[in-house]
């Protein structure tokens, strides 16, 4: 969707992200949306094996920085040098590019973003993809680094012109830590298509196995263990997992053993963004087995929620705060107790024995996709930039 783009015309936006930009849909769509609406965008990320240093065009360019320090020890304290090296590269790019707006994605680019914005006396957007005060990564940091992370987020987050995040629940928690700041939400519904058909479900007649889809990372602590244990013990159910893991085998070995020994669970490589809907529509239910711990997961709205909704899948979800607040008003699915395999097993059995209940959930999911989709995500982002540009 291209709207009145006068406020972005001839504006220069520098987007910062401390990853390789392989799978980061949110950041990719920031650049695409802003450039389509008149801005000149430069995204700065990390270089990785097999990736181009420069991609894109004059309106929407991606630069990946090859950091020497990335090859150093993975010790958290040693990795601080990677962060410092990235910061100095960003300052050099700032001098050449001369941005009007700096968009820092997550706390680890916030200091670099603030300094870059300060050099130019321009605007800073802090886009927090998680509740970093209590997320799976940050709670594993050494105490000193964790204090540094919290100090940076508080000290420079409150200096941002606006704080952006992924859900109302996360925003509320962030603003409790960083009060008296402007906060806005851009939902991760970037890959969600507006339903083309009427709000009518496909239903499920119970004559075939119940087909369940899981999209995403295979990671300890995300509820995958509970999911595969329950499905393996339930007849009449098939689970297909499309995902990848960044963890070593000793971290996910138990999960893989259950998958390999179960006739009704299959593991596939991740689905390309353009293929999600053609594949997802073959299923009855999409599952989100999130643990409520740490707090960031309890508040989150993962991308897969919107992808399932766009494909018209009923949603089987653990009852976290963020998921319950969005799914329940639409009656788009059923909840189970996170990390309770017996409860999930009973929930699955009830669905198999009462297949007629799925139709209403699927209709509710399509209503979610009507409300939260690629068009509304673009509009939410443009509202953020409209607000910031008024201050230039």
Tens of pLDDT, residue by residue over 344-385, are 999 999 999 998 899 999 999 999 999 999 999 999 999 999
Higher-pLDDT residue of 392, 124: 124
In a domain, 283, yes or no: yes
Domain limits for position 162 = 6-189+373-389
The answer to whether residues 102 and 47 belong to one domain is yes
In a domain, 148, yes or no: yes
The answer to whether residues 46 and 184 belong to one domain is yes
Asked whether the predicted pLDDT for residue 304 surpasses 70, the reply is: yes
The answer to whether residues 51 and 180 belong to one domain is yes
For residue 32, give the nearest of 7, 65, 57, 4 by alpha carbon: 57
* Least-confidence region, from 74-78, 317-321, 366-370: 74-78
List pLDDT tens digits, range 22-60: 888 999 999 999 999 999 999 999 999 899 999 999 999
Asked whether the predicted pLDDT for residue 1 surpasses 50, the reply is: no
Asked whether the predicted pLDDT for residue 204 surpasses 80, the reply is: no
In a domain, 198, yes or no: no
Asked whether the predicted pLDDT for residue 83 surpasses 50, the reply is: yes
CA pair distance 361, 305, nearest whole angstrom: 13
In this prediction, residue 338 carries a pLDDT of 86
The answer to whether residues 262 and 157 belong to one domain is no
Q: What angle do CA 49, 53, 56 make, to 5 degrees?
A: 125
The answer to whether residues 150 and 15 belong to one domain is yes
* Least-confidence region, from 84-98, 183-197, 342-356: 183-197
CA pair distance 63, 46, nearest whole angstrom: 8
The answer to whether residues 344 and 248 belong to one domain is yes
The answer to whether residues 157 and 42 belong to one domain is yes
CA pair distance 342, 349, nearest whole angstrom: 11
The answer to whether residues 299 and 384 belong to one domain is no
In a domain, 196, yes or no: no
The answer to whether residues 377 and 366 belong to one domain is no
Judge whether 294 and 340 are in contact, CB under 8 Å. no
In this prediction, residue 202 carries a pLDDT of 66
The CA distances from residue 68 to 16, 21, 47, 113, in Å, are 18, 18, 10, 21
Tokens of 292: 């409520």
Place of tokens 């962030």: 174
CA pair distance 315, 343, nearest whole angstrom: 16
The CA distances from residue 44 to 21, 27, 53, in Å, are 9, 10, 10
Average pLDDT, the chain: 91
In a domain, 203, yes or no: no
CATH number of domain containing 46:
3.40.50.2000
In a domain, 205, yes or no: no
Residue 93: band (very low, low, confident or very high) from pLDDT cuts 50, 70, 90: very high
The CA distances from residue 282 to 279, 376, 379, in Å, are 6, 25, 30
pTM: 0.92
Tokens of 371: 């409300």
The answer to whether residues 172 and 221 belong to one domain is no
Judge whether 55 and 28 are in contact, CB under 8 Å. no
In a domain, 202, yes or no: no
Asked whether the predicted pLDDT for residue 251 surpasses 90, the reply is: no
CA pair distance 38, 10, nearest whole angstrom: 6
The answer to whether residues 324 and 235 belong to one domain is yes
List pLDDT tens digits, range 143-179: 888 999 999 999 999 999 999 999 999 999 999 999 9
In a domain, 378, yes or no: yes
Tally of domains in the chain: 2
The answer to whether residues 111 and 219 belong to one domain is no
């Amino acid at each position: 969707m291209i709207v009145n783009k006068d406020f972005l015309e001839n504006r220069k936006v520098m987007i910062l992200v401390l990853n390789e930009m392989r799978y980061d849909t949110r950041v990719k769509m920031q650049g695409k949306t802003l450039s389509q609406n008149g801005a000149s965008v430069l995204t700065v990320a990390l270089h990785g094996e097999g990736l181009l240093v420069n991609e894109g065009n004059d309106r929407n360019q991606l630069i990946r920085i090859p950091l020497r320090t990335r090859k150093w020890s993975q010790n958290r304290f040693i990795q601080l040098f990677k962060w410092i090296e990235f910061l100095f590269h960003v300052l050099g790019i700032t001098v050449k590019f001369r941005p009007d707006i700096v968009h820092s994605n997550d706390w680890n680019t916030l200091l670099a973003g603030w300094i870059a914005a300060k050099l130019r006396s321009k605007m800073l957007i802090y886009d927090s993809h998680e509740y970093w005060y209590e997320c799976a990564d940050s709670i594993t940091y050494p105490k000193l680094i964790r204090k540094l992370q919290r100090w940076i987020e508080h000290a420079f987050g409150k200096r941002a012109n606006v704080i952006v995040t992924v859900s109302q629940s996360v925003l509320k928690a962030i603003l409790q830590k960083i009060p008296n700041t402007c906060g806005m939400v851009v939902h991760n519904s970037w890959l969600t298509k507006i339903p083309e058909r009427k709000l009518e479900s496909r239903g499920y007649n119970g004559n075939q196995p119940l087909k369940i889809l899981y999209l995403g990372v295979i990671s300890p602590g995300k509820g995958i263990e509970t999911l595969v244990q329950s499905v393996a013990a339930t007849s009449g159910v098939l689970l297909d997992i499309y995902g990848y893991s960044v963890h070593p085998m000793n971290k996910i070995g138990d999960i893989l053993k259950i998958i390999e020994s179960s006739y009704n669970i299959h593991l596939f490589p991740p689905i390309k963004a353009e293929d999600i809907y053609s594949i997802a529509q073959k299923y009855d239910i999409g599952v989100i087995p999130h643990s409520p711990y740490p707090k960031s997961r309890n508040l989150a709205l993962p991308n897969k929620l919107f992808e399932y909704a766009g494909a018209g899948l009923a949603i089987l979800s653990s009852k976290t705060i963020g998921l319950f607040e969005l799914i329940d008003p639409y009656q788009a699915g059923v909840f189970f107790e996170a990390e309770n395999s017996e409860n999930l097993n009973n929930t699955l059995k009830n669905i198999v024995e009462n297949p007629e209940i799925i139709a209403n959930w699927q209709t509710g999911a399509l209503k979610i996709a009507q409300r939260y989709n690629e068009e509304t995500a673009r509009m939410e982002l443009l509202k953020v930039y409209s607000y910031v540009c008024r201050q230039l």
